[in-house]
Each structure stands twice: as C-alpha cells, then as structure tokens.
Chains A and B, each alone.
Chain A
Amino acid sequence: MPDYKGIQGTAVQNFAADPPAPVTGQVWYNSTTGQFKYQDTIPAGAWATGGSLNTARSQLAGAGTQTAALAFGGNDGSVTAVNESYNGTTWTELGDLNTARRGLAGTGTNTAALAFGGTTTIPAGPGMTGVNESWNGTTWTELGDLNTARQLLKNAGTNTAALAFGGETAAIIVGNTETWNGTSWTEVNDLTTVRTNLGGCGATNTAALAFGGQIPAGPTTTAATESWNGTSWTELNDLNTAREALAGAGINTAALAFGGLTTVNVANTETWNGTSWTEVNDLNLARKAMGSAGTNTSALGFGGGPPTQNATEEWNAPYSATETITLTT
C-alpha cells in the first residue's frame, strides 16, 4: 500500500505550531499538541467574524469586495457621513461623504464607488435626497442627482454604469428604476413588485437582481425575486424567507441574501444559483439594515442593528479549514 511519502513525494513534516498557510491536502504533525492535522476545503459556506467597523451604525451602504470594501453613510444615532475602507482585516477611516445620509445605496469598488439617494434627516421624510457622489479612492465628488429622491433603494453596477431600483419617497413606496451612465440618471422600466428596504445586487447596470423588501399592502414583507436584463424586470422564484432590510451580494445569476427583518431580526442566509434560493449557514449575529460587499462565494456583511452594531462577518463558500486527524488502534 502506498504511504503518504509515496503519494506526496515528501514525508509528513513535524511542526511546533500549525504552518501559517497550509495548502489543501497538506498533512503535518503538531509536536506541541501531539496531533496529526491536515488542511481541507469545505464546500458548504460559513460566516466568520471580521474586523469591526470604527463607527457602529445601521442603514449604511457598501461597495467593493470582501478584502477591499468601502462602508459609507448610515445611522449611528444621527445621520452620518463617515466612510471607512476594509483591507480584509481592519477598517480605516477615509474622507467623509459630502452629504451625510442614511438609507442610501452604493456600488462599485473601494477605489471607484458611487453613493446615491438616502435621507439626510431623522425622521426620514423631510430629507429624502437624490444626491449622487463618486469616490475616487481619496475624495467624494458630487455628480448628477437621481431623478427620484428616495431612501431604502438598492443598487447594482459600477460607478460609471450603475442601476438604482425600488425604495420610498416621502409619500410612497416606489418601483422606480434608474440607470446611470457616468453622467446622468435615466428612468427606465419599474420593478414589477413595488417595494422598499429590499435586497439587491449585480455587477452591471444591465444585469441585476432584486429580492425581498417591504410592499405597500399591509405593509408587509415580500419574498419576491426579480431579474433585470437591461430593459425590464422578470419575476423569478421567491426567497425561502420573506423579509425586509436584508443585505445582498453577488450578481444576478449567483447571489447571496442575508440577515433582515421578518417580525424579528434574522440571521438567515440564502444562496441564489440563477434559478432558486437555497438556505445555507446563518450569520452568527442576527441583524437588519447592514452594509454589504462581495460575491455569493466571498461576501462581507457589516454594521446593522438594532442595537446599532459594528460587527463584520465574512462569508466564504468553500472555505479552507485545518482538521485534526483522530487516530484509532
């Protein structure tokens, strides 16, 4: 029978501590703990804690990836313009938004982001805004406003080709969809299910996904999912758990929906394969109104509440894990 050396070409190495960056399949002996260990890749996803935001807040927006993200605006007891950048380990404060606001949307990367909509006041009504700012990695610059000032809308795309959809004005919940070409916003076809405080994602302004939220009747939560093809929205299969104030990451064929509010804050996480949603491992902290970034295999959730939180969680599917080999005689 071939032994480990025969298969791998090396003997099992002896370490005083686990190696810092083992590769999948690597086997070693930890002489301190007296254990054989190996590095495995676990296909099912899971959430791990990440570095905490410097400013705990909810109703904030996010952009970027799991290891290069941006968190801006929000509600920390008052409306804030705070802007922080994440490097995969810690959050660092950068230049503030020009217009402090909460319930805004954001898209792009952590060096080229777009922040649009929201409300500048508490309570929300008087401060509904269509203000739109572009981030270049150093400062925010005001550009053309949304046509419909509103809060609790969602987003897709980049800072030169973005999509804004859903939300609520001071008067009503809307299904308005607007597309951004780097210069101005243009009204296009509305969502089929008018809603606010929804989840959304998408890498471009021609392919996006809208899911969950609050609909006017009741009002109540919805599980409805719609996909945007650049021209119109099409209804697809619902979320397993109807909720509002949920977060989203990914693209319209591979998305992640997490957290939110049913009648209580929930930790539910669902993954979308382009056809249906599947329940996967929950967040460690149930919460709503958090910021998000990343993809459905490598996502980031941060902030939220209540109570207002600074916690960050990192989703990876698959993820790499060190396992202990149990020897029996």
Chain B
Amino acid sequence: MTKTYQYCVAENWGKGFIDHNESSRITFKGLPGDVWQVPAYNKHANLWIQKVLGTPKTRAEAQAIVDGVITQAQATWDADNVANESAEQKVDRIGERPVLITLEE
C-alpha cells in the first residue's frame, strides 16, 4: 500500500522551525512527543525534515511514541483528583482526559 504520510521526531525550537513557505507547501500535523506528520514522497517535506534534523520514524514507531506520551498523560489525568470534585469540575480544572490518536499510513 502506498503511504500518504511520513513521520519524524523533531523538537520545535521556535522561530525558523517551520517557515511560511514550508507551511504553505506542506500540511504539518504536530503530535505529542515532538512527532510530526508530513506528506510522504514530497520534496518539500523531505527538505524540511533535513533542515530540522528530524529523526525519521515508521508509522508504527511514531504510533508507539505518541501512544506512550498519551498513555502517560491519561495516567496522570486519572490520578489527579480533588475531594468532592465533579467530573465537570475536573474537566474545567485540567481539561478533557487525553484520547489516543491513530496515525494514518
């Protein structure tokens, strides 16, 4: 099956990490664990990964990283309780419980 996306790990250092031209040419999706989804077989995406010294990951590897971060966040969320707090109040306090994300091929 031809893949649509490729994945890499790269830390967003701020200014210059993604410039306007890259943003307009590449559909970026930032994911937990500094994982970035960009189009596969795309010259501009490949050049961007080189620029940011991204570490390429297979979809399965990227999925494992994202799952690890989200699972940890879910455990932290589950353990963060205040006496007599309603479910609605908990969401107001620390946001919705993180949900797992399925990465696309």
Contacts and interface: CB of A to CB of B under 8 A. Distances in A.
Interface of A: 42, 44, 46-52, 58, 77, 89-90, 122-124, 281-282, 284-286, 305-307, 311-312, 316, 319, 321-322
B3 interface: no
A42 B22 CA distance: 12
A284 B31 CA distance: 10
Interface in B48-105: 73, 85, 88-89, 92-96, 98
Interface residues of B, number: 27
Contact of A49 (B14, B21, B95): B14
Interface of B: 12, 14-24, 27-30, 32, 73, 85, 88-89, 92-96, 98
A309 to B, nearest CB: 9
15 contacts: A42-B24, A46-B21, A48-B23, A49-B18, A52-B12, A52-B14, A90-B15, A122-B92, A122-B93, A123-B89, A123-B92, A281-B23, A284-B18, A307-B32, A316-B20
Nearest to B73: A307
B95 A44 contact: no
Contacts of A50: 14-15
B95 A306 contact: yes
Nearest to A318: B20
Given A77-B94, A122-B93, A305-B95, A46 B30 contact: no
B24 A281 contact: yes
Given A46-B21, A49-B14, 14 more contacts: A42-B24, A46-B23, A48-B15, A48-B18, A49-B12, A52-B12, A124-B92, A281-B23, A282-B27, A284-B30, A307-B73, A307-B98, A312-B14, A321-B21
A47 B20 contact: yes
A296 B81 CA distance: 41
Nearest to B36: A284
Contacts of B17: 49
A129 to B, nearest CB: 15
Contacts of A46: 20-21, 23-24
B20 A48 contact: yes
A319 B94 contact: no
A37 B40 CA distance: 26
A47 B95 contact: no
A326 B12 CA distance: 30
A42 B30 contact: no
B15 A51 contact: yes
Contacts of A319: 20-21
Contacts of A305: 95
